């Protein structure tokens, strides 16, 4: 029985007798980007965070989604948008890892919406996937997702695991497992309301205020402030963190001066930006840029 299981695992890892390619030696960490359109840029390791999931790519060869909490219909619309990226012929032959270990519950209306989308678009996204692994922890919500795949009957092989190491290995992503698992822990270690506020800041204009954030999350300003306070955070601190994160990306990817970076990120001035970096990172934008130049 054990020998048969090992043979099956090998066949799932290397269909048609072809070994997975050697890991590509690119960036060792994943870069957070605000929009899924960035996934069409040069091959790299990127991820996008939304209200109830994170979607990542590793050099176009592997795509993955980490789901958590209780996704609703609005979340499903965002999940479908992520699936549309993987349906692009540019990514033909990629593998896919669906991580539902942190999924707490399945909303029936949201589930029906997702199922209808996947069924309608099955002939578009399934041919792009060479194989897919679903990583679960055996709960009811995870069983529901597994049943969805059985119902869909996609044209690519789908296998289910409760062991992360094996799941990453099957989709040829062993080289990024540590980074993705670290990303997962970082995201799940943050209270849900904080994750949602950060996701809102990613999609709203840089000058968006408290009212716009609350409206995006479908709540009142008072309720939002109360929930953030219970999590030990505030809208002011989250906005400052967002400005710093955006600025870090601009420091990494552009040659813009501090005034231009401050304007793009939403800081009131270059001096304000320096103050935020000292407060939140213990360093300055200039020091970060200088370190990048030395390492590059």
Q: For the chain, what are the domain ranges?
A: 2-188, 192-295
The pLDDT value recorded for residue 167 is 95
Structure-block tokens of residue 149: 């795949």
Asked whether the beta carbons of 212 and 220 are under 8 A apart, the reply is no
Consecutive H or E run containing 270: helix 270-281
Q: Would the pTM count as exceeding 0.75?
A: no
Comparing CA positions, the residue from 266, 258, 191 lying closest to residue 226 is 191
The whole-angstrom separation of Cα 164 and Cα 144 is 19
The pLDDT value recorded for residue 18 is 30
The pLDDT value recorded for residue 295 is 63
Percentage helix, strand, coil for the chain under 3-state DSSP, each rounded to 5: 60, 15, 30
The whole-angstrom separation of Cα 255 and Cα 189 is 33
Comparing CA positions, the residue from 203, 190, 193 lying closest to residue 225 is 193
CATH architecture of 2-188: 2-Layer Sandwich (3.30)
Query: Which ranges of 70-172 would DSSP assign to H, the alpha helix?
Result: 73-86, 108-120, 122-125, 140-152, 164-170
The pLDDT value recorded for residue 79 is 92
The CATH code of the domain at 192-295 is 1.10.10.60
The whole-angstrom separation of Cα 10 and Cα 4 is 10
What is the longest distance spanned by two Cα atoms in the chain?
Answer: 67
Residue by residue, pLDDT tens for the chain (296 residues) are 333 333 333 333 333 333 333 333 334 489 988 889 999 999 999 999 988 899 999 999 999 999 998 888 888 999 999 999 999 999 999 999 999 998 888 888 888 899 999 999 999 999 999 999 999 987 777 788 778 887 888 999 999 998 999 999 999 999 999 999 999 988 888 888 888 888 888 888 877 888 899 998 889 999 999 999 988 889 889 999 889 988 988 888 888 999 999 999 999 999 999 999 999 888 899 888 887 777 65
Asked whether the beta carbons of 249 and 31 are under 8 A apart, the reply is yes
The pLDDT value recorded for residue 23 is 34
Asked whether the beta carbons of 187 and 54 are under 8 A apart, the reply is yes
The pLDDT value recorded for residue 202 is 83
């Amino acid at each position: 029985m054990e020998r048969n299981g090992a043979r099956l695992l090998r066949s799932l890892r290397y269909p048609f007798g072809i070994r997975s390619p050697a890991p590509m030696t690119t960036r060792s960490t994943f870069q957070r980007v605000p929009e899924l359109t960035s996934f069409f840029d040069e091959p790299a390791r990127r991820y996008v965070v939304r209200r109830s999931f994170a979607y990542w790519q590793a050099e176009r060869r592997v795509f993955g989604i980490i789901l958590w909490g209780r996704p609703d219909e609005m979340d499903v619309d965002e999940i479908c948008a992520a699936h549309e990226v993987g349906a692009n012929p540019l990514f033909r032959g990629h593998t896919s890892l669906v991580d539902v270990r942190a999924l707490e519950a399945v909303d029936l209306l949201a589930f029906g919406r997702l199922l209808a989308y996947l069924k309608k678009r099955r002939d578009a996204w399934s041919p792009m996937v060479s194989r897919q692994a679903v990583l679960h922890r055996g709960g009811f919500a995870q069983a529901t997702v597994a049943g969805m795949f059985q119902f869909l009957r996609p044209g690519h092989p789908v296998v289910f695991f409760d062991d992360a190491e094996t799941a990453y290995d099957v989709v040829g992503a062993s080289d990024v497992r540590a980074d993705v698992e670290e990303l997962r822990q970082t995201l799940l270690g943050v209270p849900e309301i904080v994750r949602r506020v950060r996701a809102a800041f990613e999609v709203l204009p840089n000058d968006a205020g408290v009212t716009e954030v609350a409206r995006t999350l479908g709540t009142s300003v008072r309720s939002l402030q109360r929930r953030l306070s219970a999590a030990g955070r505030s809208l002011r601190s989250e906005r400052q963190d967002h400005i710093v994160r955006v600025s870090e990306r601009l420091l990494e990817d552009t040659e813009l001066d501090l005034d231009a970076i401050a304007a793009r990120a939403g800081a009131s001035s270059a001096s304000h930006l320096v103050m935020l970096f000292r407060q939140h990172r213990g360093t300055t934008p200039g020091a970060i840029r200088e370190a990048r130049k030395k390492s590059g």
